[in-house]
């Protein structure tokens, strides 16, 4: 079995990828589910044409090099859902998906969600896709540099629409820290990219805490997040995800099955709200949904 810390799919030829991808991903989950993950991934790989695998390898090799928009690779998206699927126990649910559809029907849509685990976005994508795959495919997540920092994270990110942004020294890992001027320039660029995608009918997801919660509690929101809601007509949608911290606890190296619940709140119009009021309302609604 490949060493999960050393294995890099983007360096493989197609025969190696077909032989090694499933055992590698099976090695990143707990023993109780590894055989199921391995079987699901291998079945997908065996059914995928060479051209699709080659396209995914090329995309993975360059993913995250620049601060820009990265659209999901089709094979990687199917792979992420096949890999994450066995980790969702019976009882998982997604509630309020109709609110997302309604918000998108009204105009630009910004989702603000809590952040407890590295797999929050993958779990959100899978739970949405089980009810409405087309709606899940309209989700774009703003992501920091750490999301693209190693092969395991990159192959997960490759299955999602993401915008790579910079993080300030207050929330970035040591290797990702940048100067205030650099962060401001890239943050402005990211916001413009997010606004363009929202105008095209995508829903942009932000984690306003800026980092994963260390204790499971909802942390303070970064004030700059409110700038993403400045686009005229923006609908803000609170998102609460519970259970992801049990799938991939902050102090563990293996993913494990758990019950995960996704709740989407009622959208509200950002227009006319000041920064603090907007963030306070979103935070209060997320907190209330987490307490359900």
Domains detected in the chain:
67-290 (3.40.1130.10)
pLDDT value for 2: 63
Query: pLDDT tens, position by position, for the chain (292 residues)?
Result: 566 666 899 999 999 999 999 999 999 999 999 999 999 999 999 999 999 999 999 999 999 999 999 999 999 999 999 999 999 999 999 999 999 999 999 999 999 999 999 999 999 999 999 999 999 999 999 999 999 999 999 999 999 999 999 876 555 544 456 788 888 899 999 999 999 999 999 999 999 999 898 887 899 999 999 999 999 999 999 999 999 999 999 888 999 999 999 999 999 999 999 999 999 999 999 999 999 8
Residues forming beta bridges with residue 238, ordered by sequence position: 112
**Of 194, 193, 137, which is closest to residue 160 (Cα–Cα)?**
137
Q: pTM of this prediction?
A: 0.93
pLDDT value for 4: 61
pLDDT value for 179: 81
pLDDT value for 177: 61
Contacts with 11 (C-beta within 8 Å, 6 or more apart), sequence order:
none
């Amino acid at each position: 079995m490949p060493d999960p810390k050393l294995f890099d799919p983007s360096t493989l030829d197609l025969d190696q990828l077909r032989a090694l991808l499933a055992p590698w991903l099976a090695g990143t989950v707990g023993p109780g589910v590894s055989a199921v993950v391995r079987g699901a991934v291998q079945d997908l790989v065996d059914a995928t044409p060479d051209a699709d695998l080659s396209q995914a390898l090329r995309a993975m090799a360059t993913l995250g090099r620049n601060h820009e928009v990265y659209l999901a690779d089709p094979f990687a998206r199917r792979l992420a859902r096949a890999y994450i699927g066995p980790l969702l126990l019976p009882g998982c649910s997604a509630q309020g998906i109709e609110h997302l559809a309604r918000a998108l029907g009204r105009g630009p849509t910004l989702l603000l969600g809590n952040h407890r685990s590295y797999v929050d976005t993958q779990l959100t994508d899978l739970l949405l896709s089980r009810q409405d795959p087309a709606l899940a495919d309209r989700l774009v997540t703003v992501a920091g540099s750490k999301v693209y920092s190693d092969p395991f994270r990159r192959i997960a990110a490759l299955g999602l629409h993401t915008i790579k942004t910079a993080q300030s020294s207050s929330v970035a890992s040591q290797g990702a820290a940048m100067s205030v001027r650099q962060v401001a320039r890239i943050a402005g660029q990211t916001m413009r990219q997010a606004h363009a995608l929202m105008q095209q009918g995508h829903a942009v997801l932000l984690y306003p805490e800026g980092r994963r919660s260390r204790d499971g509690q909802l942390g303070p929101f970064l004030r700059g997040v409110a700038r993403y809601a400045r686009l005229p007509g923006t609908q803000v949608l609170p998102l609460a995800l519970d259970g992801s911290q049990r799938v991939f606890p902050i102090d563990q190296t293996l993913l494990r099955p758990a019950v995960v619940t996704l709740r989407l709140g009622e959208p509200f119009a950002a227009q006319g709200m000041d920064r603090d009021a907007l963030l306070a309302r979103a935070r209060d609604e997320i907190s209330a949904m987490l307490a359900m």
